[in-house]
Amino acid sequence: MESPGTGCAGSALRGDCEPAVTCASVTATRCFWGWGYEGAGLSDHDEDNLVERVRHVVRVAPTPIAAPTPEEIRLAPSRLRPPTGLAPWCRVDDLDRAGHTYGKSFRDVVRALERRWDRPPDVVVRPPDEAGVAAVLDWAARVGAVVIPYGGGSSVVGGVEAPADDDRPVISLDTGELNQVLEVDRVSRAARIEGGVLGPSLEAQLRSYGVTLRHYPQSFEMSTLGGWIATRSAGHYATLHTRIDDVVESIRAVTPSGAWESRRVPSSGAGPSADRLWLGSEGILGVITSAWVRVQPRPQYRASGVARFATWRAGALAVRALAQSGLWPASCRLLDGREAALSGAGVGDAHLLLVGVESSDHPVDYEMARAREIIRDHGGQMSDDRVTGDANDTNDAAVRWRSSFLRAPYQRDVFVRHGLIVETFETAVTWDRFDGFVDGVLTTAEAALREVDAWPSLVTHRITHAYPDGAALYVTVLAPGHATGRLAQWDEVKGAVMAAVISGGGTVTHHHGVGRDHRRGYDDERPDLFAAQLAAAKRVVDPGAILNPGVLIDPATRRVR
């Protein structure tokens, strides 16, 4: 990331929030300390420009921290010796172990920049198939090792790191070899896909069948189908089918107690949904090896536009009306003025609503016209619409926004190297609480940032997903950090905001997941009895408590709190 990249991640966008899918080769070298692939980050020029854009608001360190090199990695020796049968899939070198020590949160990048890999996995193993996954779980159970399922490693909630309070050796089970689209059923519009396939490869493979999953979380480049299912990923669509949950037909997984597979049917009323136990399971039940998911033809008809709102509240009311209209826009994102400016989508003089509709079946002029009416009724000033029959979309503000959206993880790493605290909160809340909730969360965040001497800061926010009954709020913080102790500063802020989210009636996470970082809030959010039920369900498939201990629930706790 030190050297100017070829700039692949920011290149041609095919349409609304849809990244280029063929750019990043899966054979490229993953960056071991930050986001993405080696060489795919910002060019020196872009990096300078980026830092320049925030320097007038936020104190930036005079000299950026140099990215660590592989030679700087110093790890404790591995405590595991893989059995002969598994050895070919196992890696115990420092580089691979360091690369699997953390996810990709601010906290993770800071620790890597500090050359700290306190609790690396003892082994990174990439089983070649489902039987290999089972063999790894057997081995782990035999030697009393912890297993951390690792998909794309893009967790920003401490979901793939070893528990600090557990002395067992650690195996990072990387599903990267389970990366094939196995079968496409064009009649039912569904595909059977392995759990370890990364977004770009998944879409590239589906493209040869003429279909798409159209699930584009911000982590798309570096996250997997199995990871999306395990974390209830929210993707492309801002309304209606926002979540991977909505397209899963059936799941196949391997647990320490054996294989688990649900029946593939379009819908069933036979007992509680078995799949829903895996959706959001965050690696504590087993390894998701494949799933049948609904796919679709590429959209042939699209229309989009950008509306300016003088007040955030007016924009939010428009979003609510759109979400309640039954038009189910594919895009419906409201950026506050600062977010618009930071992303380059605007100049900060207005809040921007990016709205788009799409269909593979019929022209969407009618839906777009009604969306325009709704927006105007709520005081929004629409730009000229773009109604296109092809996959290009050159609406400037929208394109700039999407480019920024996809570049954000790379940009985040630049900011971290320049000494900033840069993180996000995301949550969802019902509309009746929305206005006060947003005010409360923002006020709390700003007060906490002042409290820890991380001021002046840039705190921006947006609505990422909208429902008839509420919306998902996404807050980005860019704040000056202490040269040492940025993590402690952030802990304070995060704790304060998490408390505000919970007391305000929101969820601790709309789509980042719980992991280790959201445990406090999650424990306050979920019913106590449900936690006990989840622990009981885990014990059935993981009697040795080897899978991702401490994530979601405390496996040592047998009693209700």
Report the site for its own copies in 333-372 (rule: CB under 8 A): 359-362, 366, 370
Q: For residues 337 and 316, is the Cβ–Cβ distance under 8 A? A: no
Among 2, 14, 166, 257, binds its own copies (CB under 8 A): 257
Which of 258, 389, 485, 495 binds its own copies (CB under 8 A)? It is 258
- What is the DSSP code (8-state) at residue 36? S
Q: Using the rule CB under 8 A, is 503 a contact of its own copies? A: no
74-82, 89-97, 132-140, 512-520 -> range binding its own copies (CB under 8 A): 512-520
**65-94 residues near its own copies, rule: CB under 8 A:** none
Going by their DSSP bridges, the two strands 386-388 and 301-309 should be labelled as antiparallel
Specify the residue for token string 């993405």: 36
d(CA 82, CA 142): 12
Amino acid type, 553: I
- The binder of its own copies chosen from 312, 431, 474, 490 (CB under 8 A): 431
Name the residue with tokens 């100049």: 347
Nearer to its own copies, 256 or 337 (CB): 256
424 belongs to the binding site for its own copies (CB under 8 A) = no
Minimum CB–partner distance for residue 307 and its own copies (Å): 18
DSSP single-letter state for residue 298: P
As beta bridge partners, residue 477 has 423, 459
- Find the radius of gyration of the CA atoms of the chain: 23
Taking the least distance from each CB to its own copies, the nearer of 2 and 185 is 185
**Does residue 428 touch its own copies according to CB under 8 A?**
yes
- What track of x and - describes contact with its own copies for positions 459 through 488 (by CB under 8 A)? ------x-xxxxxx----------------
Residues 182-201 that bind its own copies (CB under 8 A): 185, 187-190
User: Could you tell me which of 167, 29, 165, 159 has the C-alpha nearest to residue 99?
Assistant: 29
Q: Verify binding: residue 267, its own copies, rule CB under 8 A.
A: yes
Say which amino acid occupies 202.
Answer: L
Which helix (DSSP H) or strand (DSSP E) does residue 423 occupy? strand 420-430
Among 268, 311, 503, 557, binds its own copies (CB under 8 A): 268
Any residues with CB less than 8 A from the CB of 394 and at least 6 apart, and which?
386
Whether 50 and 42 have beta carbons less than 8 Å apart is answered as: yes
Backbone angles phi, psi at 94, to 5 degrees: -60, -35
Q: Which of positions 525-544 make contact with its own copies (CB under 8 A)?
A: 525-527, 529-530, 532-534, 536-537, 539-541
Q: Measured from the CB of residue 103, what is the shortest distance to its own copies in angstroms?
A: 15
Alpha-carbon torsion angle 389, 391, 395, 401, nearest 10: 150
- Does position 249 interact with its own copies (CB under 8 A)? The reply is yes
100 binds its own copies (CB under 8 A): no
Q: Tokens representing 321?
A: 């009306």
Site string for its own copies, 282-321 (x = CB under 8 A): x-----------x-x-------------------------
Nearer to its own copies, 249 or 446 (CB): 249
Residue 473, token pair as written in the block: 């709020």
Which of 266, 347, 384, 394 touches its own copies by CB under 8 A?
A: 266
Q: Could you tell me the smallest distance in angstroms from the CB atom of residue 71 to its own copies?
A: 38
Identify whether the C-beta of residue 166 lies closer than 8 Å to the C-beta of residue 550: yes
**Which residue type is seen at 73?**
I
Count of chain residues binding its own copies (CB under 8 A): 90
Map the footprint of its own copies across residues 115-174, applying CB under 8 A. Answer: none
Site string for its own copies, 5-24 (x = CB under 8 A): --------------------
- Taking CB under 8 A as the criterion, the residue among 278, 312, 410, 490 binding its own copies is 278
Is-contact 354 331, C-beta < 8 A? yes
Compute the least distance from the CB of residue 473 to its own copies, in Å: 11
Which of residues 68 and 555 has its CB atom nearest to its own copies in the complex? Answer: 555
CB of 69 to its own copies, least distance (A): 35
Question: Shortest distance, CB of residue 162 to its own copies, whole angstroms?
Answer: 20
**What sign for the dihedral angle of Cα 223, 227, 228, 233?**
negative
User: In angstroms, rounded to a whole number, what is the distance separating the alpha carbons of residues 21 and 31?
Assistant: 19
- Asked if 274 is part of the footprint of its own copies (rule: CB under 8 A), the reply reads yes
Q: Are 353 and 306 a contacting pair, CB within 8 Å?
A: yes
